[in-house]
């Protein structure tokens, strides 16, 4: 298969100059916002057919996808810009959106669990604080919650911190619609903690830094996946998973374990792992991208990954190149 190896912001442009001047604008679905709100920024692009894309948060690149950008870790004054870059290296920035945090009218931040029906919660009583602390095995796996609220089919758990979602906790739980950590209480995900979920609408856990093995194996997330702080993801972490738009956005990931992105079914895939200097347990082929075949892949990686294997690319990158059509962006 072919490979286009570029550095930001240059990408190979095929064809003549566009017949008109490209332009782009963005809009936010929420602004002003409350702390922890997942804000979606949507681009509108005109007269642009080929090139690259950059989402910038406070002038730092957070995504290289043309898809809408979702951020639940915004603070007052954060700025968002979207840039399209043509094949000649010419950038066309959007309008800048400066975020404004609300000072009133916001509910107390919580770990929010949404179910298809409140009768399908995995505890005896949805409103019982002791039931939920027992379910999460607190204080063994973190500091217990201090209060609980039930709003429709949502349970809001308030006051916990330093929590690990323990092994198998939500495994194959198809009653769970979504989970959103608005207080930053969840920091680790245990083995198989979300594996086998067939239809999870959204998962926003932006304080998680460590993901144990098979945490998302064979799981399907439909609308939103956001884990912006993850540093380490162990082996088989995302094997056979299906994320929204085929986008695996991990701006702070430094290590992905063996078979980490194994057997992902999407035809078009984007891996944004600009800090991931360890792809697999060695610089050889560790089956991180095993069974990806005849797929279109855009991957952003550190430049060092392209020479770490005795002057050659990491073995997993070589495998990816040999079996797929790959665009590599180095940073």
User: For 195-212, what is each residue's pLDDT tens digit?
Assistant: 999 889 999 999 999 999
Judge whether residue 13 has pLDDT over 50. Answer: no
What is d(CA 246, CA 96) in angstroms, rounded to the nearest whole number?
Answer: 27
Tell me, yes or no, whether 127 and 176 share the same domain.
yes
Complete DSSP assignment for 240-271: T-B-GGGEEE-TT--EE-TTTTTT---SEEEE
Residue 323, domain extent? 231-331
Q: Tell me which DSSP letter residue 49 carries.
A: -
CATH of the domain at 88: 2.60.40.10
Q: How many domains does the chain have?
A: 3
Query: What confidence tier does 49 reach under pLDDT thresholds 50, 70, 90?
Result: confident
Tell me, yes or no, whether 237 and 212 share the same domain.
no
Question: pLDDT of 98-129, one tens digit each?
Answer: 999 998 888 788 999 999 999 999 999 999 99
Tell me, yes or no, whether 114 and 218 share the same domain.
yes
Judge whether residue 316 has pLDDT over 60. Answer: yes
Closest alpha carbon to 283 in 317, 250, 239: 317
Tell me, yes or no, whether 44 and 66 share the same domain.
yes
Tell me, yes or no, whether 235 and 267 share the same domain.
yes
The domain boundary, picked from 172, 191, 222, lies at 222
Taking phi first (over 0 means left), then psi (-120 to 50 degrees means alpha), and beta for anything else, what does residue 262 get? beta
b (16+ CB within 10 A) / e for 96-118: ebebebeeeeeeebbbbbbbeee
The domain boundary, picked from 50, 65, 98, lies at 98
The torsion of the CA quartet 213, 217, 221, 226, rounded to 10 degrees, works out to: 20
Tell me, yes or no, whether 113 and 210 share the same domain.
yes
Q: What is the mean pLDDT of residues 33-39?
A: 87
Q: Which of 65-74, 146-155, 310-319 has the lowest mean pLDDT?
A: 65-74
- What is the reported pLDDT for 104? 83
The domain boundary, picked from 57, 74, 98, lies at 98
Tell me, yes or no, whether 32 and 119 share the same domain.
no
CATH of the domain at 197: 3.80.10
Tell me, yes or no, whether 250 and 217 share the same domain.
no
Tell me, yes or no, whether 242 and 317 share the same domain.
yes
Query: What confidence tier does 17 reach under pLDDT thresholds 50, 70, 90?
Result: low
What is d(CA 132, CA 126) in angstroms, rounded to the nearest whole number?
Answer: 8
Q: What is the mean pLDDT of residues 293-304?
A: 96
Closest alpha carbon to 224 in 198, 243, 250: 243
Tell me, yes or no, whether 40 and 58 share the same domain.
yes
Judge whether residue 25 has pLDDT over 50. Answer: yes
Cβ–Cβ < 8 Å for 22, 48: yes
Judge whether residue 325 has pLDDT over 70. Answer: yes
pTM given for the model: 0.75
Percent of the chain with pLDDT over 90: 84
- What is the reported pLDDT for 103? 85
Tell me, yes or no, whether 91 and 125 share the same domain.
no
The burial class, CB within 10 Å (0-12 / 13-18 / 19+), for 49 is exposed
Tell me, yes or no, whether 247 and 173 share the same domain.
no
Question: pLDDT of 133-143, one tens digit each?
Answer: 999 999 999 99
Q: What is the mean pLDDT of residues 137-161?
A: 96
């Amino acid at each position: 298969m072919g490979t286009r190896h570029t550095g930001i912001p240059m990408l190979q442009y095929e064809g003549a100059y566009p017949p008109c001047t490209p332009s782009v604008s963005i809009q936010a679905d929420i602004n002003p916002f409350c702390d922890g709100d997942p804000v979606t920024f949507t681009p509108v692009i005109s007269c642009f057919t080929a090139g690259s894309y950059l989402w910038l948060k406070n002038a730092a690149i957070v995504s290289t996808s043309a898809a809408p950008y979702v951020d639940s870790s915004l603070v007052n004054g954060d700025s968002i810009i979207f840039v399209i870059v043509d094949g000649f290296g010419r950038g066309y920035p959007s309008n800048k959106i400066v975020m404004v945090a609300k000072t009133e009218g916001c509910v107390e931040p919580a770990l929010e669990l949404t179910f298809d029906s409140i009768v399908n919660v995995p505890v005896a009583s949805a409103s019982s604080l002791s039931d939920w602390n027992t379910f999460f095995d607190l204080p063994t796996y973190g500091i217990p919650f201090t209060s609980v609220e039930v709003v429709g089919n949502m349970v809001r758990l308030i006051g916990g911190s330093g929590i690990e979602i323990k092994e198998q906790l939500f495994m194959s739980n198809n009653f769970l619609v979504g989970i959103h950590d608005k207080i930053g209480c969840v920091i680790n995900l245990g083995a198989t903690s979300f594996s086998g979920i067939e239809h999870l609408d959204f998962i926003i856990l932006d304080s998680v830094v460590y993901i144990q093995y098979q945490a998302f194996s064979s799981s399907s997330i439909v609308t939103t996946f956001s884990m912006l702080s993850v540093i380490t993801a162990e082996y088989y972490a995302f094997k056979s998973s299906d994320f929204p738009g085929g986008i695996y956005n991990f701006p702070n990931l430094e290590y992905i374990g063996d078979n980490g992105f194994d057997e992902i079914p999407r035809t078009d895939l984007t891996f944004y792992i600009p800090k991931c200097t360890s792809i697999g347990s060695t610089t050889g082929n560790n089956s991180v991208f095993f069974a990806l075949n005849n797929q279109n892949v855009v991957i952003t990686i550190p430049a060092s990954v392209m020479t770490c294997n005795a002057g050659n690319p990491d073995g997993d990158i070589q495998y990816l190149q040999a079996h797929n059509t790959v665009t590599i962006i180095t940073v």
